[in-house]
């Protein structure tokens, strides 16, 4: 694929461009081959120009957040990986309790911003290694709370470079899904409605959620969070554990012995190892419980 014109446009817009970029280091799973091209985009006008060219030339592209719910093929990605930096990581108060945050901002940065500004509502996300755009894309959540609970609206750019805004009702939020899973639109900025609260109370909630994660999740191994969606009336981890699958291993991929809802990379796992292990777990759980586990994990 002929990338020179795209590289020229990106550099003219002061973007950071890398060819044949290994992607494993950009995901929490630490798995994945090379992308033909990675472009770090620092501003909205640059992103519009790049998307218009990509659209006109029909070049495959993927927007990469913090890679915390993503498994990338061992052969990499034949196309362009876009990462949002610069103004897309900015966070600011619009008024007393409404935040405007770039989609490229890490959840950790956003949670610390809310803490410093005495704002409550995002404590449940503390400790999740995601970007805000990724969290909105999949309606991230934990402990019976979801991003939709504090969401007001967001801006996005269409594949052909048009800037649009969606209110909450337009997101079609559901369990681990949003309207963005059905489009190639790129979320750029998000408005969140929070509540003023005591700073010590906010910090206490954040500490409590983080402690729960440390106690229950295999944070000592590379992983991509919960592999499966929660089945109605049950928990994926419980079903997997009840089937005696904790510790089950294919190659370098292993069902976590700490939390069966997680698959960990023991150090040498490939994408194929993980996918084969997911398939085996699904088959065994269905055979023994009649429940077909659905992947929460995104696969590129």
Domain ranges of the chain: 4-87, 90-215, 218-299
User: 3-class SS at 295?
Assistant: strand
Task: Return the closest-CA partner of residue 32 out of 77, 72, 87.
Answer: 72
pLDDT at position 1, please? 57
Q: Which residue among the candidates 155, 178, 226, 256 is catalytic per the annotation?
A: 226
Asked if domains 90-215 and 218-299 share a fold, the reply is no
pTM for this predicted structure: 0.92
Q: Which CATH architecture has domain 90-215?
A: 2-Layer Sandwich (3.30)
As a whole number of angstroms, the distance between CA 203 and CA 199 comes to 6
As a whole number of angstroms, the distance between CA 157 and CA 44 comes to 9
Instruction: Note if 296 is an active site residue.
Output: yes
pLDDT at position 256, please? 95
pLDDT at position 160, please? 86
Is 285 in contact with 291 (CB distance < 8 Å)? yes
pLDDT at position 27, please? 95
Q: Was domain 4-87 assigned CATH 3.30.43.10?
A: yes
Average pLDDT over all residues of the chain: 95
- The CATH code for residues 218-299 is 3.90.78.10
Instruction: Note if 169 is an active site residue.
Output: no
Is 96 in contact with 119 (CB distance < 8 Å)? no
Q: Which residue among the candidates 176, 204, 272, 294 is catalytic per the annotation?
A: 176
Burial class (CB in 10 A: 0-12, 13-18, 19+), 72: buried
Query: Which residues of the chain fall below pLDDT 50?
Result: none
Instruction: Note if 4 is an active site residue.
Output: no
């Amino acid at each position: 694929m002929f990338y020179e014109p795209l590289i020229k446009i990106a550099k003219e817009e002061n973007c950071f461009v890398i060819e044949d970029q290994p992607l494993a280091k950009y995901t929490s799973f630490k798995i994945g081959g090379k992308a033909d091209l990675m472009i770090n985009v620092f501003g909205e006008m640059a992103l519009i120009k790049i998307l218009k060219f990509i659209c006109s030339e029909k070049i495959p592209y993927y927007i990469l957040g913090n890679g915390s719910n993503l498994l990338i093929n061992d052969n990499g990605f034949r196309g362009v990986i876009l990462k949002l930096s610069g103004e897309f990581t900015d966070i600011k108060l619009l008024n007393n309790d409404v935040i405007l945050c770039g989609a490229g901002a890490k959840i950790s940065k956003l949670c610390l911003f809310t803490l410093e500004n005495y704002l409550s509502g995002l404590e449940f996300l503390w400790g999740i290694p995601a970007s805000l755009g990724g969290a909105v894309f999949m309606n991230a959540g934990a402990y019976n709370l979801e991003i939709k609970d504090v969401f007001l609206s967001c801006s996005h750019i269409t594949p052909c470079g048009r800037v649009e805004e969606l209110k909450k009702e337009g997101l079609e939020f559901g369990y681990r899904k949003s309207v963005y899973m059905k489009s190639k639109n790129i979320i750029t900025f998000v408005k969140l409605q929070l509540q003023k609260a005591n700073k010590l109370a906010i910090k206490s909630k954040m500490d409590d959620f983080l402690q729960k994660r440390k106690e229950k999740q295999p944070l000592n191994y590379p992983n991509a969070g919960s592999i499966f969606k929660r089945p109605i009336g049950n928990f994926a981890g419980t079903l997997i554990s009840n089937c005696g699958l904790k510790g089950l291993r294919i190659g370098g991929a292993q069902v976590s012995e700490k939390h069966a809802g997680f698959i960990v990379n023991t150090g040498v796992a490939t994408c194929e190892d993980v996918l084969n292990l997911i398939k085996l777990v699904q088959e065994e759980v269905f055979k023994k419980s009649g429940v077909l586990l659905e992947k929460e994990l995104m696969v590129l």
